[in-house]
Structure 1
Amino acid sequence: MALNKSWRARVFVCVAIAFSSLATLPALAEKGNGVNARNKAAATRISQSDLECLSEALYFEARGEGANGQRAVAEVILNRVDHPRFPQTVCAVVNQRGQFTYNKNARIRDKGTYARVRKIAIAALSGAPRTLTNGATYFHTRAVSPSWSRRFERTTRIGAHIFYRSDRRLASN
């Protein structure tokens, strides 16, 4: 009986978070909250699948970062969507083979953190300015040094992540 109540409580929390996030979309469009007039209509047309994919990617790739670090990762994903060399949807970018390191079958355990990254995802998909990474399309944590990082222009470091722009290759000699 206690297990059943615990399970129902968790389901209730998940549903409450989902509904509160959905309720935020029209509020963002009406209040402005960083969304300019041109993008107000777009705020109400956010694809639910893109929102889920971006929120999940932010949770697993940047949940330990501050808000700017999470926004920066969202910028990279959206910069890729806009770049001709990458897939044209958020889900296609996030699910592109070998690009993001988190386990796609992992469970979201911290609902509070997920709610925060979901708000960042909503703002990013609603047209928030992308000014943190200077057009970055790649990033990695400081704990690793991938070979591709020597070929691209480093744009900035935010928290534990280093960001790179791929449209300007560096000399390889």
Structure 2
Amino acid sequence: MSVLKSWTGGAIVLLALAGGLRAEVTVSQSNEPTSAIVPVDQGLLALLGQERSALGAVPAGRLTAITTAPVAARKEAKGDAAVTPIAYSEEWVDTQPVATGDAQFQCLAKALYFEARGEEVAGQAAVAEVILNRVDDPAFPGSICGVVQQSNGRGCQFSYVCDGRADRISEKATYDRVAKVARAMLDGAPRRLTEGATYFHTPAVRPTWSHRFTRTAQIGHHIFYRGLDSSAEIQLASN
């Protein structure tokens, strides 16, 4: 990621320099042409061509993900009124309207119900952060339902999806409450709890990938990790 930033920053600086040199070359040629200035201009153009070729070799999806800020961060930075902060309390949940939404909302609400309904509000929001962070990461599926239903070499990324039991919502009142958290997160609530985590597990287990990834937080009964900055993290996590 730092290399691409260097390329992009370098390209901008070089473009500015190239523009200045072109102007200088025009003036010099009209007054006192020299052979020393023109090769420098040509060298810069050649270097810019190499920069363009290098950037062109990066997959479009990856380049977009690297150069685009997460939706929640963009809204927060602009002071967008759509950002809905979470107080991470039961009192906050009580003040929220009944949550509804499309299939993606339902996938997130169900994931919070089956993975985190026993957690405090902050723990539920933290799990939602992981799912939404994965959606934003090109190493994972690009939709909430795709992330939640994704399988790996040993089963499903989220155990409730393929544990052999029916995904029956037996606690309607609890589901309605976690759905409010899901709705707030989808509406752009800031993701500040897990520092960009894309994995979590309970303290009862210690998967091998936990040694490779960066631990970012422990909230309730879950420990959160930020994975590698490439698609290699999926392969590592399935080992």
Give TM-score scaled by structure 1 length.
Answer: 0.70
Q: What is the match of residue 213 of structure 2?
A: 152
* CA positional deviation for 1:117: 0.5
Describe the SS at the equivalent of 1:81: helix
Matched, 1:55 2:109: yes
Q: What is the match of residue 120 of structure 2?
A: 66
Contact 1:153-1:168 at 8 Å conserved across structures: no
Identity of aligned residues (%): 58
Matched, 1:101 2:159: yes
Classify 1:152/1:108 alpha carbon distance in 2 versus 1 (closer, same or farther; 3 Å).
same
After superposition, residues 1-173 of structure 1 pair within 5 angstroms as 36-37=80-81, 48-97=102-151, 98-103=156-161, 105-167=166-228
Contact 1:152-1:168 at 8 Å conserved across structures: no
Describe the SS at the equivalent of 2:176: helix
Q: How many residues align?
A: 130
Alpha-carbon distance in structure 2 between the residues aligned to 1:123 and 1:67? 12
Unpaired runs of at least 5, structure 2: 1-78, 85-99, 231-239
Q: Deviations over 1:20-70 (max 9, x none)?
A: xxxxxxxxxxxxxxx932569xxxxx9601111000000000010000000
Alpha-carbon distance in structure 2 between the residues aligned to 1:159 and 1:61? 12
Describe the SS at the equivalent of 2:196: coil
Which structure is richer in relative contact order (CA contacts within 8 A, separation 6 or more)? 1
Contact 1:51-1:121 at 8 Å conserved across structures: yes
* CA positional deviation for 1:103: 3.8
* CA positional deviation for 1:161: 0.1
Moved over 4 A (4+): none
Letter in 2 for 1:118: A
Letter in 1 for 2:80: N
Query: Structure 1 residues 127-136 or 141-150, which shifts more?
Result: 141-150
Q: Deviations over 1:56-114 (max 9, x none)?
A: 00000001000000000000000000011001000000000120001463201111110
* CA positional deviation for 1:128: 0.4
Question: Looking at CA atoms only, which structure, 1 or 2, has the larger radius of gyration?
Answer: 2
Unpaired runs of at least 5, structure 1: 1-34, 41-45
Describe the SS at the equivalent of 1:132: coil
Alpha-carbon distance in structure 2 between the residues aligned to 1:92 and 1:103? 12
